[in-house]
Amino acid sequence: MSLRGDYSAATADFSVEQDWGAYGAGEHALFRRLFERQSKLVPRYACPEWIDAIAGLDAGGGIPRFDLISRQLRSKTRWEIVAVPGLIPDEAFFTHLANRRFPVTVWLRKPEEFDYIVEPDVFHDFFGHVPLLFDPVYADHLHEYGKGGLKAMRLDAVKMLARLYWYTIEFGLVTTESGTRAYGAGLLSSGGELAYAVADPKPRRIDFDLDRALRTDYLIDRYQGSYFVIDSFAQLMRETAPDFAPIYARLRALPVLES
Tell me which DSSP letter residue 205 carries. Answer: E
Q: What angle do CA 122, 142, 19 make, to 5 degrees?
A: 25
Q: What residues contact 35, with CB distance under 8 A and at least 6 apart?
A: 59, 60, 123, 127
Q: Which is nearer to Fe ion, 130 or 185 (CB)?
A: 185
CB 212 within 8 A of CB 156: no
Contact flag: residue 182 with Fe ion (CB under 5 A): no
**Is residue 51 within a helix (H) or strand (E), and if so which, with residue range?**
helix 48-55
Closer residue to ligand PHE (CB): 87 or 137: 137
Binding of ligand PHE by 94 (CB under 6 A) = no
- Minimum distance, C-beta of residue 148 to ligand PHE, in the bound complex (Å): 3
Nearest to 121 by CA among 87, 73, 95: 87
Q: How far apart are CA 241 and CA 128, in angstroms?
A: 24
240 binds ligand PHE (CB under 6 A): yes
Closest CA to 227 of 159, 181, 167: 167
Looking at residue 30, its amino acid is: L
Binding track, positions 135-174, relative to ligand PHE; x by CB under 6 A: ---------xx--x--x------------x----------
Under the binding rule (CB under 6 A), the answer on residue 102 touching ligand PHE is no
**Residue 185 contact, options Fe ion, ligand PHE, none, Cβ 5-8 Å cut-off depending on partner type:** Fe ion
The smaller minimum CB distance to ligand PHE, of residues 124 and 151, is found at 151
DSSP state of 181: E
Characterize 43-60 residue by residue with b for buried, 16 or more Cβ atoms within 10 angstroms of its Cβ, and e for exposed.
eebbbebbeebbeebebe
Of 73, 81, 97, 185, the one binding Fe ion (CB under 5 A) is 185
Nearest-approach distance from CB 205 to ligand PHE, in angstroms: 21
Among ligand PHE, Fe ion, none, partner that 163 touches (CB below 5 to 8 angstroms by kind): none
Q: Tell me which of ligand PHE, Fe ion, none is bound by residue 228, counting a contact when its beta carbon lies within the kind-specific cut-off of 5 to 8 angstroms.
A: none
- Number of chain residues interacting with ligand PHE (CB under 6 A): 10
Nearest approach in angstroms of CB 185 to Fe ion is 5
Which positions touch ligand PHE (CB under 6 A)? 144-145, 148, 151, 164, 240-244
